[in-house]
Amino acid sequence: MRLGVLDLGSNSAQFLVVDASSGAPPLPIRALKEPVALAEDIDADGEVTDAGIERTAAAMSRILQAARRYEIDSFYAFVTAAIRDAPNRETVLDGIERTAGVRPQFLTGAQEARLTYLAVRRWYGWRAGPLLVLDIGGGSMELALGRDDEPELALSLPLGAGRLTRACNATSPARPAPQTRCTG
């Protein structure tokens, strides 16, 4: 079975095509990545602006157009914290669906942390022992801890690199001033 998974984050849209069969590791066929720079278009209230919606939808459309040649059997598209946590999430998803023809789903932060843990557990296997997995994205950080098939702890915190940069140094993210303190 050929699977396509699209991860629509605050920095980029990443698409992976894999051949998957029961009892075997997934075989990557193609990876596509499109910048979206969505974090640049989140206003002070956390809403994604119209420009951000348009740019994200266009990036998703380009990836889907390129992906058509891979004859995918099952397709999954997910958004992460930048859209999941936006007060205007439904408007963003509507705009993406209108432009790209596909409505992405969203995972809760805990679901995202759990899936990341499962991927790391499968990659490293049982010999790795207990795992502490941190996934720092643009809008959130997922944390998972465990030693078994399922994590004992899986959570998401609003500590993404882009979100913290905006909160702590909104005037100049590229060159933070020494006296700037994060109070938010």
Which residue has tokens 């296997």?
A: 125
Listed in order, the ranges of the chain carrying CATH 3.30.420.40 are 2-106
φ, ψ of residue 120 to 5 degrees: the values are -65, -40
The per-residue pLDDT for 100 is 92
* DSSP 3-state of 58: helix
Taking the model in full, what pTM does it have? 0.79
The per-residue pLDDT for 103 is 96
The per-residue pLDDT for 49 is 95
**Per-residue confidence of the chain (184 residues) as pLDDT tens digits?**
999 999 998 889 999 999 999 888 889 999 999 999 888 898 888 899 999 999 999 999 999 998 889 999 999 999 989 899 999 999 999 999 999 999 999 889 999 999 999 989 988 888 899 999 999 988 899 999 999 999 999 999 988 887 787 778 755 545 544 444 545 4
Q: What is the CATH number of domain 2-106?
A: 3.30.420.40
Tokens of 116: 């990341």
Q: Are 157 and 137 in contact (CB under 8 A)?
A: no
The per-residue pLDDT for 172 is 52
In whole angstroms, give the CA distance from residue 133 to residue 123. Answer: 12
Q: Are 154 and 113 in contact (CB under 8 A)?
A: yes
Which residue has tokens 């998957």?
A: 20
